[in-house]
Amino acid sequence: MTRANDAITVTPGSGATGAVWSPAGSGTTAFHLAMRAPGTSPQVPGSGARYGVHTPRLGILQNSYLWELFNGATSGVTLWVDDIAVTSSSDVAFAADRQLRVFLFRTTALSSGGTACNYESASTLSANFYRFDSSDAAMPSTVTMKTKLTSITTGAYLGELFVALNETRPEDVLQQGIECGYNTPDMPSPRIIKIPPGEGIACREGPNVASGGNTEYLLALRIA
């Protein structure tokens, strides 16, 4: 907080001019100014570049670990998770009236087992990182997404996702998820998930569904 009588002098650079805001009347007036570099969002953490990672179809099995997004200790970047979405995905109608509940956990070490990810690959058989804008820098290889894990190193419980698996009802196959990040650049949500180097986020199925069916997950990320 700045006292009203404090002053900050702004000196324009070569060839630039400084804006002058001089209210009429007497007395003391306080101003709040937000400044940012051109082309950047005023409140969203991260570089402004957005990345996605999409899992392949993952078979449902009670209490199993579906995936882990992990930020390697030597990555040199911080991840910010904007969105996590899940959808039921089977080519053949799966009419059993069951629902899938999965839990999200922070992890403090890389998981055991699982299938490694790819980076901007044409393969549909593994998790795949990609850039929303191909002119942005590629995702560092030290940021990984593994699927169908053996075990995780659990940090804290972060919440849960829910998806209905009955593919004969249209209302059950819409993509479902949580908005972890921001509705608009100027309206930040308090639910943003920050993943510093050496930490991750993992997804575990609940005990409430029988085996059968497939799900896919899409995560939208930023880096800083």
Q: Count of domains in the chain?
A: 1
Given a cut of 80, whether residue 169 has pLDDT beyond it is no
Considering the domain boundaries, does residue 123 fall inside one? yes
Q: Which residue from 139, 188, 196, 180 is spatially nearest to 41, judged by alpha carbons?
A: 188
Residue 44 has pLDDT above 80, yes or no: no
Instruction: Kindly report the length of the chain.
Output: 224
Query: How far is CA 212 from each of CA 34, 61, 62, 147, 203, rounded to the nearest angstrom?
Result: 52, 7, 10, 17, 17
**Is residue 186 domain-resident?**
yes
Give the integer Cα–Cα distance in Å for 55 and 87. 11
The Cα 67–Cα 63 span in angstroms is 12
pLDDT at 194 over 60: yes
Q: What is the pLDDT of residue 183?
A: 41
Higher-confidence residue of 53 and 164: namely 53
Domain assignment present for residue 144? The answer is yes
Q: Look at residues 173, 179, 177 and name the one whose alpha carbon lies nearest to residue 214.
A: 173
Taking the mean position of all CA atoms in its chain, how far away is CA 194? 8
Euclidean distance between CA atoms 38 and 16, whole angstroms: 15
Give the model confidence (pLDDT) of 6-16 as tens digits. Answer: 555 656 666 66
Residue 108 structural domain: 50-223
| Residue 43 belongs to some domain of the structure | no
Q: Report, as an integer, the average pLDDT of 148-172.
A: 77
Examine the pLDDT at 69 and tell me if it is beyond 70: yes
Does residue 15 lie within any of the structural domains? no
Tell me, yes or no, whether 173 lies in a domain. Answer: yes
Report in angstroms the alpha-carbon separations of 152 from 66, 180, 184, 207, 212: 11, 22, 33, 17, 23
Phi, psi of 172 (to 5 degrees): -95, -10
- 133: region left, alpha or beta (phi > 0 left; psi from -120 to 50 alpha): beta
